[in-house]
Amino acid sequence: MMNSHKQFFPLLSLFLVLYLLGQRVVLQAEAHPRHRPTKLFVFGDSYADTGNIQKSFSNSWKDPYGVTFPGKPAGRFSDGRVLTDYIAKYLRVKSPIPYRLRKLMPQHLKYGMNFAFGGTGVFNTFVPLPNMTTQIDFLEQLIKDKVYNSLDLTNSVALVSVAGNDYGRYMLTNGSQGLPSFVASVVNQTANNLIRIKGLGVKKIAVGALQPLGCLPPQTATTSFQRCNATSNALVLLHNSLLNQAVTKLNQEITKERSSFVILNLFDSFMSVLNNPSTHNIRNKLTPCCVGVSTNYSCGSVDKNNVKKYRVCDDPKSAFFWDLVHPTQAGWHAVYNKLRTMNDLQHILY
């Protein structure tokens, strides 16, 4: 029973908060004289994790996760590629190796490193895994150990994912009382993290805006997966407004030639895809592809006899959401394409 509970920890925080509340741009970017970084360092949660979370904590290491890519479970919270993989693709580097595997595949260190752990936040969450402060500690130690030098950092970009796990823990403990103040503290800590990453020598830092939590399947289930919950998205709008103010201030204080800090507008990119799904070959925009057979199970669950206790849709490529929280590879690809057309990604070049 304990192991079964552990499998749900990486998703638990987001569940709680939910229940409680192209092409032209690619050519331009390629023709642009800006320099493409050679390394990508990643910090955050399950929207960015590519294999750090331990198998005992997550179903992401079980079938059917990874069925589209790489063809087997690999720790990604999707059927295939996630945001990290697409940002790496844009930079024309290999997706950075998970921190947990750094000693097993040292030949991949030259592409950077992924420090993100599913279920974590900028503060501690219900998952006993490294929060973002500790993740940054890992990079700092690698620099001290001379795994990366100043030239490596000068030619790097950092991706920071803050997908809402902090709010899940807060609301379970405190409800909605004092939530606006806590949102401000989350954004303030995020800004401090960005400053710290910059101080280590990373030239460009991209931070994701909070995605529309009100559009995740647990919130849309009450309308048979037809409509997003505008009330739940109020938290998101506050977070993103404060984040925009914080990043603007950082750029005014620190920037010399070009903006050091960039926001990837995941809210607008998610909403654009969800409002125009057919443009991206998405047929099931709000219905999750992989779900448990009952509320006692989730995607990837099996019983004590190893019998599957989940269902998978016929075509993951036509669904935006993979499970109750995370996009499919097709969903992430659509979001990535929208970020390109919005010119967000062009700003991470220098």
pLDDT for position 28: 41
Q: Which DSSP letter does residue 53 get? A: S
Q: How confident is the model at residue 22 (pLDDT cuts 50, 70, 90)?
A: very low
Residue 303 annotated in active site: no
Cis ω before 64 (30° cut-off from 0): yes
In angstroms, the first-to-last Cα distance of the chain is 50
Q: How far is CA 324 from its chain centroid?
A: 14
| C-alpha span between 9 and 116 (Å, rounded) | 15
Neighbouring CB atoms inside 10 A of 86's CB total 20
Average pLDDT over every residue of 68-73: 98
Size (the chain), residues: 350
Q: Is the pLDDT of residue 184 over 60?
A: yes
Cis ω before 316 (30° cut-off from 0): no
- Which of the following is catalytic: 239, 280, 326, 333? 326
Q: How confident is the model at residue 350 (pLDDT cuts 50, 70, 90)?
A: confident
Residue 301 annotated in active site: no
Residue type, 155: N
Residue 145 annotated in active site: no
**Do residues 319 and 289 make contact, with C-beta atoms less than 8 angstroms apart?**
yes
- CATH class label, 2-270: alpha beta
pLDDT tens per residue, range 302-346: 999 999 999 999 999 999 999 999 999 999 999 999 999 999 999
Average pLDDT over every residue of 156-172: 95
- Which of the following is catalytic: 46, 60, 269, 298? 46
- Which of the following is catalytic: 45, 79, 166, 323? 323
Q: Is the pLDDT of residue 18 over 70?
A: no
Residue type, 80: G
CA-CA-CA-CA torsion sign (344, 117, 99, 290):
negative
Residue 55 makes CB contacts below 8 A (sequence gap 6+) with 61
| C-alpha span between 54 and 336 (Å, rounded) | 27
Q: Hey, where are the domains in the chain?
A: 2-270
H or E segment to which residue 264 belongs: strand 261-264
